[in-house]
Structure 1
Amino acid sequence: MSQANALQPLLAAGQRMESELVDFRRDLHRNPELSMQESETAAKVADRLRAIGFEIKTGVGGHGIVAELSGGKPGKTIALRADMDALPIEEESGVPFASGRPGVMHACGHDAHTTMLLGAARILAERKDEINGSVRFLFQSAEEINRGARLMIEEGALDGVDEIYGLHNLPTLAVGKVATRYGSLMGSVDRFEISLTGKGGHGAIPDQSIDPVVAASAIVMGLQTAVSREISPFDPVVVTVGSVQAGDTYNVIPHRASMVGTIRTFSPRVQSTMQERITRIAGQIAEAYRCKAEVDYVEMTPVLVSADDCVAHVERTVEAVIGADNRIEAAPTLAGEDFSLYLQNVPGCFFWLGSGPLEGAEHAYGLHHPKFRIEEDCLPLGASLLAAVALNRLT
């Protein structure tokens, strides 16, 4: 039997459960939970897994869940992962099942990812005897704050795993399409916070003060030279200051100011040099303005790099299930994903699943937008592809 013929029943299995997947995803979408608060979501996932027949481990890395499916014969252990958390965004999508919790929204589609992995678990459970080895299902909390994967790993979620696979929906890619990439797919994620101390005083008498606001303004601009004048233009790097805080009223020079930002790169080598650059530039500019600077720098996640062999496996599987015409090469992005931490420990592949409209997907609202929405046809396809990736590796 050809690979395509062997995997086509998985696509049909996903399509048969489409209405059930849609209902479950809409319930999660209506009841989103922020990172490290996903107790209700985890409970719903746990109930579904138990109903399928899984023995599960809960409370892994926060509210994470681990379930294992052992096949009919010994072999490798393949892990499949989905994230569960929502974002602090007020929803404006206009869908009838929009978030019922003010200021919290599934604006990145993690509700869809969770639903797809549940679907894959059910598909594979029905084909348990065909599996040579085991499939481990990881339902992870706190991806949006880059904590969940690290905590899952620390608590043994990857112990004994040979390979790991995951996907992310992409609303700017048409539903029915998949995008894969060799090498760096997503950027590293670092966080920095700079605290400035000056000398507060009256806004009308600046000569008797040391103004940290002026120093902060200079630092925001000066940090860009870390990219434009110290790093090769062939090494993509982004330095973004996302928040500046100082003062409480119009006529007072504050005593302190602070800023927080992020740095994204595609090179582990460049990532390792950024802390020194940010600390030096901020400190010396602050000194020029007679202020003192303290820098807190945290490397949160590495560059996401899939293993070549695993990318090739996903590509073969995708082409067998939905055809080569529906797979494209993914463009790199400096958005980050803590799936990269799993890939530091075991080989695997992370890929994009189209969730946008068939026409004009490139103009759809992107990830983290208050009007973000998905085409729900991606749910059974995502479930089928995850199941196929695991089964095709274990038969």
Structure 2
Amino acid sequence: MAEHVEISDDLIAVRHHLHQYPELGFKEYETTKFLRDQLTSHGIEVLETPLETGLVAEIKGEKPGPRVVLRADIDGLPIHEHSGLPFSSKNPGVMHGCGHDIHMTGLLAAAFWLSEHRDRIQGTAVILFQPAEETGRGARHVIETGALGKVDALIGTHNTPDHQPGEIAVSRDPMMAGCVSFAVTFHADGTHAGHPDCGTGPIEALASTILSLQTIVSRNISPLRPVVLSITEIHGGDVWNVIPDTAGFLGTVRYFHKDDHKLVVSRFRQVVESTAAAYDITVDIKWDELGAPLVSDAALIGPVAEDLPGYATPVPVITSMGGEDFADFQQLGPLVFASVGSNGRPGHRSIHNPEFVAFDEAIKPTAEFLVNALLRVESELQK
């Protein structure tokens, strides 16, 4: 029998407040204070941890059992909001353009319900409000600080405007891509633009490298295996009549399979280093693996999916090449993840868009997934 969570007007007001006052990653001080006040006012214990922003709370059940984490991310994006919502951001240049305000409010609603129904908890529900998801480093920071302690499983959600509120998607297959950021800097001998023979220019090497990198996916990866390599920033030179001594570019790789990632890394280094050698210059490569592909644990997601029709409309997953650092938590235990519909209307804007809108109606299914998934996962872990 599925559990249902009522969403009060006070919780709607909480969502609107969070949306109005977004903060960037690792700077979510006021957000953290607000969330702490919400939890403590409902008798929920907030733990002391090394985290400067974000927090961990515990709700102990009346029965012994596993420690299962429910997680929501709390940071906003550096975007000027143009959603037209009456509760639009009041912090200039910062927006909850990814729906983290929905995630936070849904987790608060779930936490309030669990606090009132401790007899239903077989173990401990660990409430994690995680900082800095948008940086790709927030989950890693939580892990490195040891803020969670020992846990047995972790449950998370992300809203998707491609589905309507009340629709939820789960899958045994990868739902979101592994994410890499890279930076390449060529080092040469700068010279006067009228005397190129007196130096070694990095601009030509940069241009040749960028073109060659586009063949890694098209000529090395099966067209049936999604991989993206995008160059997103180029820099080099400061004045029109000087060939600079450095030039470089930044970008990202997205993938779903570890062997594809391994191949891309190898070919990337070959292309960059051999091109630099051909131009008689040196090069630095920074390769930062921000997150693995997000895959739910096969043994847990099946039972969780069986319960979905009791409180939501199951829909197919829309696989995303976006990254989600929740995947990093697989170091601590098995993961369960869901995409929760937040808009679904024709012409809606996607996440990370200044006109993105998530509806209040997405709060209830978010909370109900967290509650029902927690209860089911606890039961499965004790079999």
Q: In the alignment, is the contact (CA less than 8 A) between 1:194 and 1:260 conserved in 2?
A: yes
Report what 1:341 is aligned to: 328
1:104-115 alignment, distance < 5 Å = 104-115=94-105
- When normalised by structure 1's length, the TM-score is 0.91
Identity percentage over the alignment?
Answer: 36
Letter in 1 for 2:242: V
- State the number of aligned residues: 379
Give the Cα separation in 1 of the matches to 2:191 and 2:337: 53
Instruction: Identify which of 364, 367, 377 aligns with 2:361.
Output: 377
Deviation at 1:185, TM superposition (A): 1.2
1:245-394 alignment, distance < 5 Å = 245-322=235-312, 326-357=313-344, 359-360=345-346, 363-394=347-378
Task: Give SS of 1:224's match.
Answer: helix
Letter in 2 for 1:219: T
Task: Give SS of 2:80's match.
Answer: coil
Give the Cα separation in 2 of the matches to 1:94 and 1:251: 46
Give the Cα separation in 2 of the matches to 1:144 and 1:270: 24
Instruction: Identify which of 13, 17, 25 aligns with 2:15.
Output: 25
Letter in 2 for 1:272: K
Letter in 2 for 1:50: T
Residue 335 to residue 59, structure 1, CA distance change in 2 (3 Å): same
Letter in 1 for 2:352: H
Report what 1:51 is aligned to: 41
Q: In the alignment, is the contact (CA less than 8 A) between 2:46 and 2:58 conserved in 1?
A: yes
Unaligned stretches of 5+ residues in structure 1 = none
Task: Give SS of 1:183's match.
Answer: coil
Letter in 1 for 2:325: D
Give the Cα separation in 1 of the matches to 2:49 and 2:29: 9
Give the Cα separation in 1 of the matches to 2:331 and 2:253: 19
Deviation at 1:374, TM superposition (A): 0.7
Deviations 1:98-142 (A, max 9, x none): 112222111111111111101100011110122221111111001
- When normalised by structure 2's length, the TM-score is 0.94
Unaligned stretches of 5+ residues in structure 2 = none
Q: In the alignment, is the contact (CA less than 8 A) between 1:198 and 1:256 conserved in 2?
A: yes
Q: In the alignment, is the contact (CA less than 8 A) between 1:14 and 1:383 conserved in 2?
A: no
Deviation at 1:229, TM superposition (A): 2.1
Instruction: Identify which of 31, 35, 46 aligns with 1:41.
Output: 31
Report what 1:14 is aligned to: 6
Q: In the alignment, is the contact (CA less than 8 A) between 2:311 and 2:365 conserved in 1?
A: no
Q: What value does the CA root-mean-square deviation take over the aligned residues? A: 1.7
Give the Cα separation in 2 of the matches to 1:349 and 1:295: 34
Q: In the alignment, is the contact (CA less than 8 A) between 2:174 and 2:293 conserved in 1?
A: yes
Q: In the alignment, is the contact (CA less than 8 A) between 2:151 and 2:332 conserved in 1?
A: no
Deviation at 1:60, TM superposition (A): 4.3
1:152-163 alignment, distance < 5 Å = 152-163=142-153
